[in-house]
Amino acid sequence: MNEADLLKRTKKFGLRIMKLADAIPQKPSGRILASQLLRSGTSVGANYRAAYRGRSKAEFISKLGNCEEEADEGAYWMELLMEAEPMKPRLVVSLHREASELTAIMASSRLTAKERPVNGKAIANRQLQIAN
DSSP string, 16-40: HHHHHHHHS--SHHHHHHHHHHHHH
Q: Residue 102 belongs to what domain range?
A: 3-115
How many domains does the chain contain in total?
Answer: 1
Is 124 part of a structural domain of the chain?
Answer: no
Determine the pLDDT at residue 130: 55
Query: For 22-44, how does the pLDDT look when each residue is reduced to its tens digit (9 = 90+)?
Result: 999 999 999 999 999 999 999 99
Is 131 part of a structural domain of the chain?
Answer: no
The C-alpha atoms of residue 69 and residue 66 are separated, in whole angstroms, by 5
Is 90 part of a structural domain of the chain?
Answer: yes
Burial of 65 (0-12, 13-18, 19+ CB in 10 A): middle
Range name among 26-35, 56-65, 74-83, 114-123 with the lowest pLDDT average: 114-123
Is 100 part of a structural domain of the chain?
Answer: yes
Which phi and psi (to 5°) does residue 69 adopt?
-60, -45
Is 15 part of a structural domain of the chain?
Answer: yes
Is 109 part of a structural domain of the chain?
Answer: yes
Q: CATH number for the domain including 87?
A: 1.20.1440.60
Determine the pLDDT at residue 121: 45
Query: For 80-117, how does the pLDDT look when each residue is reduced to its tens digit (9 = 90+)?
Result: 999 998 888 999 999 999 999 999 999 999 999 998 87
Determine the pLDDT at residue 79: 96
Query: For 40-57, how does the pLDDT look when each residue is reduced to its tens digit (9 = 90+)?
Result: 999 999 999 999 888 999
